[in-house]
Amino acid sequence: MKRLGLALAACLLAVSAASAGGCASAPEERTLVVLGPWTDGEETPFVAALRSIGEKTGHRYVYKGTRSLRETLVAQLQAGAPPDLAILNSPGELAQYAHSGDAHPLPEEVAGAAIPPWAPAVTVPGRGGAARTHVFWAPVRVDLKSLVWSRTDAGESEPVWCLGLNSGATSGWPGTDWIEDLILQRRGADAYERWATGKSSWKSTRPVWEEWARMLTANGRSPAPNALTDSFELLDDGRYGLLNRGDCTHEHQGSFIRRHYGDDVRPTPTARHLDGLATGEEDGGAVFEVSGDMAAVFRPSAAAWDLLGRLTSAPAREDWADAARPGERPFFPGGTFASKAPSPGTRAVQELFDSADRICMDASDTMPPTLRDAFYRAVLEFVGDPEDPALLTRLLERLDAETALQREKEEEQEGAFVLDDLCDNPVAASQDGVTP
């Protein structure tokens, strides 16, 4: 009985100390939830990296992957139960979460992980109406676009382009990638930024839509209707990779697509497949579009900030890369981190990354979500009849009208176009852990 009384007294003293903010036992640990875009096995190496981090920190991390990332996150925010971290590929959406206060600014100790152009600073209203500029997210994985994939024995014959635009709620994005890349290659980074941020008209982009139409309809071919219903990667018989269909020879796609191919499929820059002048850059340097998966904290805590810092560190990147198959090795700002040799396709992508003089963030990913969705729909309609000039006129007028609406929101300080710096010089490759 005496021992029980002493134990009870000790518990009461501990509770009293905790209530008064005094010396108490360590706070109860909880599981941290990471929401992200990877599913169907693609998440496996990332989960392995999380597990390795957990072994070092003692925290437990749970990864939740979904293809409906935006809808899932919105529902969780509305329910008041956000994840600790969310990994999104749309800076435009992240900027809106920064304005709404759902995404939290990075503290000084992890702010250095906000590498441009993937993570630019965002200006948001502060207390008392004073605007403040912060960084709110950091890239945990990046991909190179402006690539054309083909087999090494494809030769120099005229390309027969693979095209699949079906991607669930985001159907159309493989087509917007084409339009964005053509604008970047034909007009250069400065003009690309002006268009993507609503400072120049969609009407001015008409020549690149017409060029894309000529490419897709060469030799009497027609992209529709199959292109509208075909998946961007999944074939009807359960196989992956449009080049494996046998009816096309070249695929315009980002570096992630290499996971579906063997060593006989390699990337080349889009610029090499265009007629005439390859790029609008005045100095003739190589310019590439890039995308990324960016992590933001939606439920701030010391453990959440620690996790973000660790996910962007060299040890975590090496664990992630080593857990991935050679053809699925992730890329990071500054290089690849791994102790094992990469696949030929992975090495070829890294060499192109290293050759870039300028990189620009995927334009549609940075647009206000309503404009981005209108861009997706316009591409789907255009591919249905790419040789109808009247249709193209209507589509461009519709996109100009949507841009004007977004500009009005910006003037009302609702933060429609909040990202201006979409292009930057590439980050120099780190010498620590980079596979040459």
Q: Are residues 131 and 199 in the same domain?
A: no
Q: Are residues 320 and 278 in the same domain?
A: no
Is the C-alpha dihedral spanning 317, 322, 324, 326 positive or negative?
positive
Residue 131: per-residue pLDDT: 77
Contact 36, 69 (CB under 8 A): yes
Q: Is the pLDDT of residue 53 over 50?
A: yes
Count how many domains the chain has: 2
Q: Are residues 105 and 205 in the same domain?
A: no
Q: Are residues 52 and 121 in the same domain?
A: yes
Average of per-residue pLDDT across 309-337: 90
Residue 428: per-residue pLDDT: 58
Q: Are residues 186 and 121 in the same domain?
A: no
Q: Residue 334: CA atoms inside 13 Å, Cβ hemisphere, count?
A: 17
In the numeric block, which tokens belong to residue 239? 């196989």
Domain membership flag for residue 14: no
Domain membership flag for residue 7: no
The residue from 312, 334, 354 where one domain ends is 354
State residue 349 phi and psi, 5-degree precision.
Answer: -65, -45
pLDDT-derived band at 237 (thresholds 50, 70, 90) equals: confident
Domain membership flag for residue 213: yes
CA 92/CA 111 separation, integer angstroms: 19
Q: Are residues 263 and 184 in the same domain?
A: yes
Alpha-helical regions (H) of 250-368: 302-311, 314-323, 344-355, 363-366
Question: Which tens digits make up the pLDDT trace of 360-389?
Answer: 999 999 999 899 999 999 999 999 999 999
Average of per-residue pLDDT across 283-303: 92
Residue 367 burial (CB count, 10 A): 27
pLDDT-derived band at 6 (thresholds 50, 70, 90) equals: very low
Domain membership flag for residue 13: no
Q: Which residue has the tokens 């999944």?
A: 234
CA 172/CA 165 separation, integer angstroms: 5
In the numeric block, which tokens belong to residue 70? 């935006």
Q: Is the pLDDT of residue 66 over 70?
A: yes
The CATH number that applies at residue 308 is: 3.40.190.10
Contact 66, 72 (CB under 8 A): yes
In the numeric block, which tokens belong to residue 301? 């805590």
| Closest residue by Cα to residue 268 from 244, 284, 252 | 252
Is the C-alpha dihedral spanning 320, 358, 403, 114 positive or negative?
positive
Q: Which residue has the tokens 């640990």?
A: 29
Domain membership flag for residue 1: no
Q: Is the pLDDT of residue 23 over 90?
A: no
Q: Which domain holds residue 154?
A: 143-288+361-411
Question: Which tens digits make up the pLDDT trace of 206-227?
Answer: 999 999 999 999 988 888 889 9
CA 365/CA 422 separation, integer angstroms: 10
H-run or E-run covering 64: strand 61-65
pLDDT-derived band at 340 (thresholds 50, 70, 90) equals: confident
Q: Are residues 197 and 209 in the same domain?
A: yes
In the numeric block, which tokens belong to residue 8? 């009870």
Range scoring the smallest mean pLDDT among 256-260, 264-268, 277-281: 277-281
Contact 222, 390 (CB under 8 A): no
Residue 158: per-residue pLDDT: 87
pLDDT-derived band at 284 (thresholds 50, 70, 90) equals: low
Based on the number of CB atoms within 10 Å of its own CB, is 108 exposed (0-12), middle (13-18) or buried (19 or more)? exposed
The residue from 333, 354, 375 where one domain ends is 354
Residue 1 burial (CB count, 10 A): 5
Q: At residue 71, what is the residue type?
A: E
Q: Is the pLDDT of residue 128 over 90?
A: no
Q: Are residues 236 and 370 in the same domain?
A: yes
The residue from 354, 385, 401 where one domain ends is 354
Residue 214: per-residue pLDDT: 96
Q: Are residues 215 and 268 in the same domain?
A: yes
Distance of CA 80 to the CA centre of its chain: 25
Q: Are residues 50 and 138 in the same domain?
A: yes
pLDDT-derived band at 132 (thresholds 50, 70, 90) equals: confident
pLDDT-derived band at 104 (thresholds 50, 70, 90) equals: very high
CA 409/CA 305 separation, integer angstroms: 32
Q: Are residues 128 and 202 in the same domain?
A: no
Residue 47: per-residue pLDDT: 97
Residue 410: per-residue pLDDT: 66
Average of per-residue pLDDT across 332-354: 86
pLDDT-derived band at 2 (thresholds 50, 70, 90) equals: very low
Whole-angstrom CA distances from 96 to 102, 406, 416 are 9, 13, 8
Whole-angstrom CA distances from 385 to 144, 237, 296, 381 are 30, 28, 40, 7
Domain membership flag for residue 422: no
| Closest residue by Cα to residue 179 from 202, 161, 150 | 202
286 φ/ψ sector (left φ>0, alpha ψ -120 to 50, else beta): beta
Average of per-residue pLDDT across 119-134: 81
Percent of residues, the chain, with pLDDT higher than 70: 87
Average of per-residue pLDDT across 245-251: 94
Residue 433: per-residue pLDDT: 36
pLDDT-derived band at 415 (thresholds 50, 70, 90) equals: low
Q: State the average pLDDT for the chain.
A: 87
Q: Are residues 384 and 349 in the same domain?
A: no
Average of per-residue pLDDT across 19-42: 68
Q: Is the pLDDT of residue 84 over 80?
A: yes
Average of per-residue pLDDT across 148-159: 89
CA 215/CA 202 separation, integer angstroms: 20
Domain membership flag for residue 383: yes
Residue 412: per-residue pLDDT: 62
